[in-house]
Every structure is written in C-alpha cells, then in structure tokens.
Structure 1
Amino acid sequence: MQTTVATKPIDRVILASGSPRRRELLERMGLRFEVFPAQVNEWEEADAPPAELVRHNAALKAEWAAVRKPQELILASDTTVALGDEVLNKPVDMDEARTMLGRLSGKTHTVYTSIALRCEAHNIDELDHVTSDVTFRLLSAEDIERYIQVVNPLDKAGAYGIQEGKEIIIAGLDGSLTNVMGLPTEFLTDLFKRLGIWDSLSS
C-alpha cells in the first residue's frame, strides 16, 4: 500500500536573501515570509550579459533553498547595474566605489533584477527579470564624497542605492523604483496573482 505525503499549503514565502532592502519590500507588500539566505557563489564577471547574469544567480539561489525546503515557496532575486554592456557589481572598496559613481555621472544606465520562484511540492518554477533605466546627475568630486557620507556604497551594485541620498545623484528614473531597490514588487504581485497564491500569502 502506497502512502502519500500531504502537500503543505502555500501560506508564506521563504526569502533566499539576507538583503535588508528585500525584507523591507516584502514587509511593505504585507506578505508572511521567513529569511533563509542562500549560500552560493554568484556569477559576477563584468563582461557577462547582465540579463543572463541576474537570471543565473537568482536561479542558483532558488535551487539552493528549494533543495533544503522542498515544501516551501522559495523567492530568490539578484540585481545588477549595467552601463552599456558592462556589469557594475558591488565595489570592493571605497576607491572603486568613487570610480563607479564617477563613471555613472551624467549617464543613463540599466538596472536588472531577476525573480526566481521555486516550490518543489507545488511544481512552481518561475524565472524572469525586470529592467529600469536610471539617469545620474553630473557629479562633482564633492558630490561623490557627500554621497558616500550618506550611503554605504560597498553593499550595492553600481555603488549606489536609490532609497537614501538620491537627491544628490539621481536625475531621472524610467521604470520600477522597487526594481532599482532590488525587488520589483509590482511584477512580483502580478506573478503571485497569476499563480493564484496572492490571497493565501497576504491574508
């Protein structure tokens, strides 16, 4: 006689990321979630195609968490900044951060964020990405110094965040603000609704 294991209903999200910005955005969405940061080696080559890079990294994180929590809905994400064809990941030190901000000065770049959703028990396997274009003001050396006194650039792709100090560096945004923050909540809400799980996650 074969015994079947009951499938746990989807009533929360497992966030495979330690990012405080992503936690804040999920809280704003009113979702129940648990943080379970993925321990993976991310692909970070500067000449990698940015869309492929973020999709690869998001899928890698989701796979890591899904293997360990197969009954849960795993949400993984990855964000990078691309200036033309060059990926600008997190700077290794303040000198590189200053250089990145100087290169972005007066230019428009693209922010790529990938979303990966995995749930082994419910056969959910979704992978997509969202882009937004951000235009920087012309920055003087003094502007850059003022900015890095306000914001820690070392934990952010492209050496900047859009939540704090944006009046110093940002001239314009075309696309999703939350995408630039690291989790496109409008896209994610639509995805949850399409999968029929929004109400169970947010009620």
Structure 2
Amino acid sequence: MTGSRIILASASPRRSELLESAGIRFQVVPGHIDETPLPQEAPVDHVLRLAAEKAREVARREAGDFFIGADTIVLCDGEIMGKPCDRNDADRMLRKLSGVGHSVITGYAVYSATGDVCCSQSVETRVYFKALTDKEISDYIATGCPMDKAGAYAIQGGAAHMVRRIEGSYTNVVGLPLCEVIDTLRDMGAI
C-alpha cells in the first residue's frame, strides 16, 4: 500500500497493530521526548505538541520519508490522565472514571521529511464507564494491563467489559484514530 518509507515514532504495540490492519508497511522507531505538560497547556494542544515532537525527533535521527507521531490522553473532570505511575495511581484513576463519561483525545502528526511539512490533528472520543466494583478494579489492576495505558485502561483488552458505550472513533480509544491517519497519509502522498 506504500512505496514511501513510513516510520511510526511509537513503541505502542496497539498503534502498530492498527497500522498493520490497514495494510500499511512501516518501521517502528520510538520517539524519546519529555512528555510533561507545559504550564496552562490545553489538553488538545498538549497531545498535538507531543505528537509533532515525537515525529520530528525521530526524523532527526532516522532516515525516512514520513514519520507518524501520536499521543493519547484521557480527560476526566479537567484532569489529564496519562499512564499511571503505580498501582495506587491506577486505582485512583479507575475510581474516578467509574460510572462517568470521559474523553479520550489522541493527537497525531504526520511529518514529511522531504517536504519539511507536518500535518496534525486531534480526535476526541467520549467513553462511558459503568459503575465499577472494588473487586473489578483490584482484579483489573492485578493483571498489570493498566500500567502502560492512558487513564489506566485498555478498551481492546481487559477493560472492554467496563465500557457501557462510546461516541466516536473506537481506534482512537485504542491509541490511533486510524481513519484520520490513513486520510492524512493519503493526502500527503505517503500512500
């Protein structure tokens, strides 16, 4: 589906699986940037900045034509939830998400090294959790799954039973809004 050298600037196996499912040929070279939010940075600005920084950082050290960077956050009552720092933080996050709706926001950027052009976009999906029991939360944390996921859950994995409904892109909740990314790659001539 592509003649260009496309590099995914992410170590996320979920993002790789999504691109593979669309028939995209790519290589994985994780980006290494500081992901600390800037003071008073809006959530959408935060994910867009990180996505572009990841793509450009990998482009500076790796030969390629197009670089895809992405960053996903969970936003609940104004709190940006990234990956939990420990089990207690995962417990806190899941308790906060229990029984309420929240937003999953992914920013992605496609950087063309040859044209020095970066196209980026953010996609927001509303996710509604059922009310979780203490046992559901502790059992899920015991699996280890929450520890490397924004908001301490993975919809495609052990947390699927926690989600009552979503409004918007399912692949965005997984970590990469595939429809939009493919459209951007096509528009930029990468595929």
1:10 positional shift:
5.1
Partners of 1:44 and 1:61 lie apart in 2 by: 14
Counterpart position of 1:94: 87
152 and 44 in structure 1: CA distance in 2 versus 1, 3 angstrom threshold:
farther
100 and 110 in structure 1: CA distance in 2 versus 1, 3 angstrom threshold:
same
1:46 positional shift:
9.6
1:41 positional shift:
1.1
Structure 2: give runs of 5+ residues left out of the alignment. none
1:190 positional shift:
1.5
1:43 positional shift:
2.3
2:139 matched to 1:146? yes
- One-letter amino acid of the structure 2 residue matched with residue 66 of structure 1: A
Counterpart position of 2:151: 158
Partners of 1:162 and 1:16 lie apart in 2 by: 22
| SS of structure 2 residue aligned to 1:87 | strand
- One-letter amino acid of the structure 1 residue matched with residue 74 of structure 2: V
- One-letter amino acid of the structure 2 residue matched with residue 88 of structure 1: M
92 and 47 in structure 1: CA distance in 2 versus 1, 3 angstrom threshold:
farther
2:157 matched to 1:191? no
1:56 positional shift:
1.1
Counterpart position of 1:59: 52
1:59 positional shift:
1.2
1:164 positional shift:
1.1
1:27 positional shift:
0.9
| SS of structure 2 residue aligned to 1:173 | strand
1:194 positional shift:
2.1
168 and 133 in structure 1: CA distance in 2 versus 1, 3 angstrom threshold:
same
Structure 1: give runs of 5+ residues left out of the alignment. 1-8, 199-203
Counterpart position of 1:83: 76
Superposed CA RMSD in Å reads 1.9
Residue 70 of structure 1 contacts residue 121 of structure 1 at CA under 8 Å; is this kept in 2? no
| SS of structure 1 residue aligned to 2:30 | coil
Spell out, residue by residue over 1:21-59, the C-alpha distance to the aligned partner (whole angstroms, 9 max, x if none): 111111111111011111111124797421011011111
Counterpart position of 2:170: 177
Identity of aligned residues (%): 37
Higher mean C-alpha displacement, 189-198 vs 129-138: 189-198
13 and 69 in structure 1: CA distance in 2 versus 1, 3 angstrom threshold:
same
Partners of 1:172 and 1:84 lie apart in 2 by: 18
Structure 1 runs of 4+ aligned residues shifted over 3 Å read 44-48
Partners of 1:91 and 1:18 lie apart in 2 by: 17
- TM-score, normalising length: structure 1: 0.86
1:114 positional shift:
0.7
80 and 167 in structure 1: CA distance in 2 versus 1, 3 angstrom threshold:
closer
